[in-house]
Every structure is written in C-alpha cells, then in structure tokens.
A and B are shown apart, each in its own frame.
Chain A
Amino acid sequence: MNEKQKTINLSAIGLDSPGLVSKITKKVFELGGNIIDVEENCRRSLFSIFLTIVFPYTSDSIDSITDSLKTIEDETGLKVILGEYYERGDNVSPEKETHLVTILGMDRPGLIASISGFFLKHNINIENCKMIARGEFFSMEMLIDSMGMTTGRNLDRNDAIDHWKNELKDLCAELDQSVVIQSENIFNKIKKLIVFDLESTLLEDFSLKDFLETIKGEIRSIDNTTRFLDDDKGQMEAMVGNARMLKNIPVRDLERFSAILRLSPGSNELIRVLKSMGFKIAILSSGFDLFVKKILQETGVDYAFSNTLQVDENDIITGELEEPVITDGTKEEILEFIMNVEKISRDQVIAIGDGSTRSHFIKNAGLSIAFKPDEKSIKTDGFLRSDQIINLLYCLGIPKTELTRYLEGSFAEK
C-alpha cells in the first residue's frame, strides 16, 4: 500500500433502517474516499458495517476526514467508530492458519464465553463467528486463525495444533457439546462423497440388539457351542468371522430377521438431504447382505458394500462366504476404490463411524467424524455426541438459510 495514502477504518452500528449503506457510502464518495474492504451485516434489526477506506488524493488531515465521517452519526442515527489504519509491522506474519470450528448440542448459558475464553487462552484469533441454529438446539460456526497461538516449550507447531484441538474437544465434551474442526485445506475443498460405517452410525442400536438376540436364539438352536461377544456392534463382524455357524439354515429363515433391523431416526432424511445437495453417498457394512440388503436398497445410496453368504442350489446357506470378504481392515481399500471410481481426492471425502476398530477407515478421509464415540475411539476431526445423526448437516459449512431450506424440503417430502 502507498505510504502517503491515508487509510481509515470505519465501523458503524445501530438499528437497521432502509438506505443506511447508501448514506454512508455517499459520504465516503463525497470526501474522495475509495472503499477497499467492506463487511455489512443485519441481524434481528441490528445493523453493522465495517469499512476500510483510502483517501489517495486528499490534502485534508486525518483529523479533518474523521470529523467529516463522524457526521454520518447525525444522518443515520448509527454509532460510528473511526480509526487510522496502519500496515502491520514485519514482526507480524501476514500468513494465516485458519480452521473452521463447528460446535453443536443443547443450548446452555455460558457456552460462547467458555469457547471464546479457550481461544483467548491460546492466543487464537476468532475471525468470524455465526450461529447456524439457536433454540433448544445450538449450533455455531467459528472461523479461527491459530497463526499467533502460543505453543508449549517442548512442542513443534504441528504438535501444538494437535494439542489445542484435543484440548478443545475435551472442553466440548465437558460442556456436553459436539465439535468438528476442519483445517483450511479441508474445508476449502468441495466435498463430494460421504461414507458411513453402517453398524456404528446408521443402524438403530435397539434394533441391532433385538436382531442379534433373535439371530443368536436361532443359531443356538442349531449349534449350542457357539459363543457370542458382549459388544452388539462387534457381533455383526464376529458373525462374519464365524459364518459356518449359519450352515444349513435356509435363506428364507434368515431373511425374515432382516425386517427387525431399522435405521436410526433421521438417517433417511439425512441421506435424502445430502443427495439433494449433490453428495455421493456410500455405506460400508461388515455384516451380511442377506440382513442389510433391504435397508440399504431403501436408502437409495450410490454405493453400499457388505458380505455375501454362499447359498446352494436349494437356497440353503453353505457356511462359506463369497470372496472378497469385507472386514474392518478392507473397508479402507473399498473407500480407496470408490475414490478412484469417482475420481476424487481424499480431501473431498467425509467419513463417519464410531471410531472403534470397525470404523478405523474413517481416519483416512479429508474430514473424519466419530458418531457417539467411546474412550477407545481413534482420533478424528470431530465427534457428534447426540443420537441425532442428522446433526451431521450442521458440520458441513452449509449456510443457515440453505440448510433450513433443505431440511424443510426433506421433512415436507416425508
């Protein structure tokens, strides 16, 4: 910027009324000013504007210009704050290290104060902060710059970033809030694919429990030596590992149990909204096609992979699995395969699982979100603590108005 140019920051706030922007900018023009930065906002009848103005040709002093600009108060009724703008010194880095932080959960007093206090403690600047939802349910997006953050003595920069991210996640857990943190290289990429781990996200817990109890009863009546795990979600995988225990059962006998399995409330709406936004949707399951086929077909997803039991010519299960078997380990390869087919990069993928061993593949996506994680979950970019899978929509950086439109459209279709 030319050193001789006089540059002034103007901010004005007050009750909204028609013509405010016109009156302010007309005054700037009359004084020979050129606006080089502007941000205007109107929320709940409260108007605010921020301007950076250069005066390249005026011989008037800064004081004289600010006095003239101050008259905007009389013309508009707004409170106007003016200050001369100086270029930052060399000791301040012009580079930024931005992250998009989404916080969501049930509203409670002091939430914003706690979060902003956390950023202050780490000398992290909040550049933009906006509510996406506020009622009983609260959702807020913060754009932060961590370039000037304080790092611990023994931490390198990447470790320091990881450190504050983990601390923020702990704080949000204490506040009973979900949080997702996306770094600039991720949130600036247009996301194209959303991958869910079926058993740990979309399947309703109760229905899975019922299903497994029923299946166990059926299997025990055939083979009373079979032992089962205590963990419901892990049992689907365990069943795949022990497909032999299903030997000699007619397909039709097992197929009828699939009616017990249901998706969590909001799952179908979520998928419908995501698809209407243009996302490709994939579901990976380590269960059997026989059980999950019906619900997978009903979701209308683009990709769904599960295991297939071999069946003989009389439709009796042989106890063998069709190769290749989908295991917790091979889900990662399938994600890679879908990215290749869709010709998209990792940064354009959002993956959701519970973060347990069955969904470790999510860590390789651009944005990884753990749904209802437990203490053993892997490190992810964020977590959703509530049962409401549809809250995922608040973590995608979709503007509030657009999100409302999509949600209203989706529920109207029901």
Chain B
Amino acid sequence: MFLIETKNLRLQLEIVPVESLLLHEEVIPHHADELILEFRNWANLQNPIIVDENHMVLDGHHRAFVFKKLRFNYISVCKIDYFNETVQLRYWFRLLGEIKSTNSLRQIIEAMNGNLQQVDDGEALKKTLEENRFHCGIQHGDFFASISFRKTAVNDAVNAYHVIERIQSRLMREGKSIEYIPCQSVQDDKFTNQLKKGEMVIWTPQISKEMVVDAVRQEKRFAPKATRHLIPARPLNVNVPISLFKENISLEEINMRFSEFLKKKSLRRFAPGQIINGRYYEEELFVFFDDKDYPAERGLP
C-alpha cells in the first residue's frame, strides 16, 4: 500500500484482485474492444483505476471491464473515500446532431408511454430535474422540456438511465450522431450560445451517490456513460507492467512488490489546471516518474 495524503482526501494506491471490482455501469462495446486489443499488447497500465473502499469502480470502468475479460488476476487501484464531500458526482449529457425537429423524439416518447412537458428555460429544467430524480430533459434551440415515465416503467435510477439509452438508440437508428458531454458544460451560457442548429441535448437524471451504491448492492448496472465522478486529486503515470497483473502469487506478496516498486519512483505534485500527456486535468495531480539512474521497472521481477 502506498499512501498520498492530500489536503482533503487520502489516495491509497494498492493492488486488488480483478474479481473483487464492482462495476456500476455498462461499457461502450467498441471502446472496450479497442482497449482489449491495446492491453493484449501494452507493456504497462499507466494509471490506476479509482475505486471506493468496497472496490466499487468510480473511474476506469472500461479498463476494469477489459481486465476482467482478459482474465488478469490483479489490477492497480487508487482507493478513496467515496463519501468525502470533495468527491463529486456529475453526469454525462448526450449531444445529438442533425435533429430537424423534436417530432421523432416526441413519437419515441409517446410510444414508450412517456410524458414530455415543456418548461420555460434551462434554469427551470435544472430545477425540475433536481426535484424529480428519475426525470430527464431535452434542449433543442430555445425549446426545453422534461421527460418522465410511469413508475411502472421507471422505478429507480438505473431504469431511468436505461430508458434514456433506449431513446438514444432509437434516435441513432435514424442516423443521428451522439457525443457525451459533461453536464456542467451544458449548464454554462457559453455552451448554449455555441449550440449549432439542429443539435439537441438530452439532460440525464441527477442521481446521487447513495443511488449508485444501492445499484451496486442490487447488482444492477447503469447504462454506459451515466456517472462522471469529479475527484479532487489523482495519481498519474504509475506505469505498472501488465505482466505483474498476470502473476499467480498472493495478494500480500504482490502488494509488497507494488509498494517497493512505487517507493523507487519519484513523485511530483502539481496544482490543478495542467496538461499532461495531452489531457487537461482540473484536479490536483501526483505524477510518478522514474529516476534516470534507477528506472523503477528494475524493481519488479
């Protein structure tokens, strides 16, 4: 175990059995397929997945899924306290292109016995979704509406997301493109002003951490791209050789090796707002790197 104490959150790096991981959402098949190909040939797992104390995956569902699929024994994780208030739960909204009118969406919702209720603006839609956790919404030009379904059809958060998945699949069959965007971006005025003609946004239900944990307890999984966890600090560039995860050794032994491996690396902290390996990080970063004179890979057999 390797601990990084940050101002508000403890990051606990360790190796856990892949079979102990609890996934709370489905994966996007083609994305998972790409990762399977990559991990078969990759030498290292660059960054650990992020999990809670019970090994519920918060960030890294696709990597976790692929490790299970490839029957690896172990995986490196960064364990955090999920209910720490600095760990925030946000959502992925769906941006659909080439929607000339809301007619096809209305027809789909009617066919699913749903109800589409127009609201005044984005603020009103946000409020409606806050008050009705299983509702979703749409935004098309100046048109905002909330969408609800009978309790017999949608009786929990998991169901609410699966209904959205069905709506978006039907729209996709009509040739609409889809993009997943962070909910905060949509609620920014700049985003609304930059929306192109014909673009429609589906606002997803505002589920809570408790709902996520409940879903896992009931062995249910949300549709892909449901939750977006904002974690205030993140370890990067751990670079554990994949071969280690295939070893048939005890958990204690592998963690001892992992610990030694990390101790030989140098660690540098960066404030939020940096670009590393081409990605912008809004969180505080703890970046591992090898000393030129003693690459840490040598520490592993």
Interface residues of A (CB under 8 A from B): 289-290, 293, 296-297, 300-308, 321-324, 337, 340-341, 343
Interface string of B257-301 (1 = CB under 8 A from A): 000000000101111111111101000100101111001000000
The answer to whether B255 has its CB under 8 Å from any CB of chain A is: no
Q: Could you write out 11 A-B pairs with CB less than 8 Å apart?
A: A297-B280, A302-B278, A308-B271, A321-B271, A322-B271, A322-B272, A322-B273, A337-B287, A340-B291, A340-B292, A341-B289
Q: Are A324 and B237 within 8 A (Cβ)?
A: no
Scoring A302, A306, A340, A343 by chain B CB atoms within 10 A of each residue's CB, the highest score goes to A340
| Residues from chain A with Cβ under 8 Å of B275 in the complex | 296-297, 301-305
The docked-state distance in angstroms from the alpha carbon of A293 to that of B290 is: 28
Which residues of B are found within 8 Å of A322, using beta-carbon distances? 271-273, 284
CB distance from B235 to the nearest CB of A (A): 14
**Chain A residues within 8 Å of B278, by CB:** 300-302
Residue on A nearest B287 in the bound complex, by CB: A341
A173 to B28, CA, bound (A): 59
Closest to B266 in A: A340
Among B237, B272, B276, B295, find the residue whose CB has the most chain A CB atoms closer than 10 A.
Answer: B276
Q: How many Å lie between the Cα of A341 and that of B285 in the bound state?
A: 14
Interface size of B by CB at 8 A reads 21
Chain A contact surface mostly: mixed
CA distance A323 to B278 in the complex (A): 22
Report B-chain residues with C-beta under 8 Å of the C-beta of A302. Answer: 275-278
Contacts of A300 in B (CB 8 A): 278
Per-position binary interface string of chain B over residues 160-197, scored 1 when its CB falls under 8 Å from any chain A CB and 0 otherwise: 00000000000000000000000000000000000000
Instruction: State the 4 A-B residue pairs at the shortest beta-carbon distance, nearest first.
Output: A289-B273, A322-B271, A304-B275, A308-B271
Known contacts being A293-B280, A301-B278, A302-B278, is A307 close to B289, with CB within 8 Å? Answer: no
B271 touches A337 (CB 8 A): no
CB neighbours (8 Å) of B273 from chain A are 289-290, 293, 306, 308, 322
Complex formed: what's the CA distance from A337 to B269 in Å?
A: 11
Q: Assuming the A-B contacts A337-B289, A343-B290, are A324 and B280 also in contact, with contact meaning beta carbons closer than 8 angstroms in the complex?
A: no
- Scan B17-53; emit 1 where CB is below 8 A from any A CB, else 0: 0000000000000000000000000000000000000
Q: Is the interface of B mostly helix, strand, loop or mixed?
A: strand
Query: Which residues of chain A are near B290, meaning CB under 8 Å?
Result: 340, 343
Q: Which residue of A lies closest to B269 (CB)?
A: A324
- Given A305-B270, A324-B270, 19 further pairs, Cβ under 8 A: A289-B273, A290-B273, A293-B280, A296-B280, A300-B278, A303-B274, A303-B276, A303-B277, A304-B275, A305-B274, A308-B272, A324-B269, A324-B271, A337-B289, A340-B266, A340-B289, A340-B291, A341-B287, A343-B292
Instruction: Report chain A residues within 8 Å CB of B295.
Output: 343
| Chain A, residue nearest B239 (CB) | A341
Complex CA distance for A371 and B266, rounded to whole angstroms:
33
Measured in the bound complex, the distance between the Cα atoms of B280 and A322 in whole Å is: 16
User: Using Cβ atoms and an 8 Å threshold, which residues of chain B touch A308?
Assistant: 271-273
Bound together, the chains give a CA A296 to CA B277 distance in angstroms of 13
Q: Please judge, given known A-B contacts A297-B280, A337-B289, A340-B290, whether A304 and B270 are in contact too, CB under 8 Å.
A: no
On chain A, the residues within 8 Å of B270 by CB distance are 305, 324
Kindly name the residue among A301, A308, A324, A341 whose own CB sees the greatest number of chain B CB atoms within 10 A. A341
Separation of A343 and B274 alpha carbons in the complex (Å)? 20
- Nearest CB on B from A361, distance (A): 16
> Using Cβ atoms and an 8 Å threshold, which residues of chain B touch A341?
237, 287, 289
Which residues of B lie under 8 Å from residue A340 when comparing CB positions?
266, 289-292
